Structure 1
Amino acid sequence: MPAERRAELADRLTAELVTALDGARRRALRDGDRQIDTAHLLHSLVESDPEAATALGDGERLARVLGYLVQRSIGYGLRWQRSVEDTGTSLPVLRGAAAGTAGWSPAAAAALATAFERAARRDDHGGAHPDDRRVRGLDLLAALAADPDSRAAEVLRRAGVEPRALTARIERPSQQV
């Protein structure tokens, strides 16, 4: 992420999420993919954000998710290479900080826009702590899991993490799913 873009987002995203977004970009480039997709975001997110990794559940589930993501470039996921992820989600018009999603799959851009919306709703409900106003990794993780046709949701299901249950756990942290 260019330095000016990083500075623009610094007050809108948690440091962990900025790291995850940078990691997703590097991962897509390294894999030779045309766009950052939801699986790139999921992979970087669970490696960069302890809160997002914890939301996946026990260590065994996290290991299975990471195992599928690592295998992406060596077998599982090869059918994704050099193709655009388009889940048919309607892509909202992206404005402000979320608008810098050139080079992102439509599903990945939609997930980031949804993460910004989640943070805005939280702020509208009186988030007093400064981090309550920032887009967090959990916001993005919930958005990734909410699109049942995304590559991230496919990885989660294959690893034994039900995306709807994950979203419910993030929405209501005290709920054991």
Structure 2
Amino acid sequence: MQPRIPRQSADEQVVAARADSDARLTGELAAVVSAARRRAVRDGDRQIDSAHLLHSLLEHDPEVRAVFGEGPGIARLLGYLVQRSIGYGLRWQGSVEDSGAVPVVAESDGLSPLAAGAMEHACERAAARGAGPARGIDLLAALAADPEARAVEVLHRAGIDPGVLLGGIEDRSAPPRRSSR
């Protein structure tokens, strides 16, 4: 009898260990990457792509879920992400996600080139804010910023405008304004 969830190869275990030990990521974001890796393995995908990361962010990061607010939008988004392995996402299997919009990272740790670039962008975004390790919200901003990302395609299908989403993220990240009094 074949197990329902494939076992991790030695390479996949190394990827998980690298994500867990990356000091540029919060523990929560490292857990998101590990969950995305497990999802990719279950889906039979060769690499973790931006849609895997988006799905794991929504499941594991309350700050990311808060950006989407309450209502039917987040339910529709999760519905599309769940359908990925049984529906429209099947056309992505066997292909590499790479928009060319971000520089390809040489050591991708099992991530698609676009997802690896988004992780790097998230770390740079956190460093520019002086906020310490990258958080899930940093990764969400990086994913929403690339129009060729599979995550952006899923957002569009769910009726969520990535530009508006990115604006909401930036508003949350902006330092509080001082009163003019």
Could you tell me which runs of 5 or more consecutive residues in structure 2 were left unpaired when the two chains were aligned: 1-12, 175-181
Structure 1 residue corresponding to 2:32, chosen from 20, 23, 30: 20
Alpha carbons 2:20, 2:27 under 8 Å: kept: no
Q: Which residue of 1 aligns with 2:21?
A: 8
TM-score by length of 2: 0.82
Q: What residue number does 2:168 align with?
A: 169
Distance 2:84 2:52 in 1: 10
Any gaps of 5 or more consecutive residues in structure 1? 124-131
Is 1:120 aligned to 2:127, yes or no?
Answer: yes
Verify: 1:42 aligned to 2:54, yes or no: yes
Question: Which residue is equivalent to 1:57?
Answer: 69
Specify the code of the residue in structure 2 equivalent to 1:115: A
Q: TM-score, normalised by structure 1?
A: 0.83
Aligned partners of 1:7, 1:82: CA distance in 2, in Å?
26
In structure 2, distance between residues paired with 1:146 and 1:174: 15
Q: Which amino acid aligns with 1:167?
A: L
Greater Cα radius of gyration, structure 1 or 2: 2
Please, what is the CA RMSD of the aligned residues? Answer: 2.0
Amino acid at match of 2:113: P
Q: Tell me, in whole angstroms, the C-alpha distance in 1 between the residues paired with 2:120 and 2:173.
A: 26
CA–CA separation in structure 2 for the residues paired with 1:67 and 1:60: 10
Q: Do the aligned partners of residues 105 and 58 (structure 1) sit closer, same or farther apart at CA in structure 2, a change above 3 Å counting?
A: same
The alpha-carbon deviation at position 165 of structure 1 amounts to: 0.7
Aligned residues of 1:37 and 1:104 also touching (Cα < 8 A): yes
What is the match of residue 102 of structure 2? 90
Runs of 4+ in 1 over 4 A off after TM superposition: 1-4
1:54, 1:87 → 2: CA distance? Answer: 28
- SS of the aligned residue for 1:156 comes to helix
Q: How many residues align?
A: 161
Q: Find out whether 1:109 has 2:116 as its counterpart.
A: yes
Shift of the alpha carbon at 1:136? 0.4
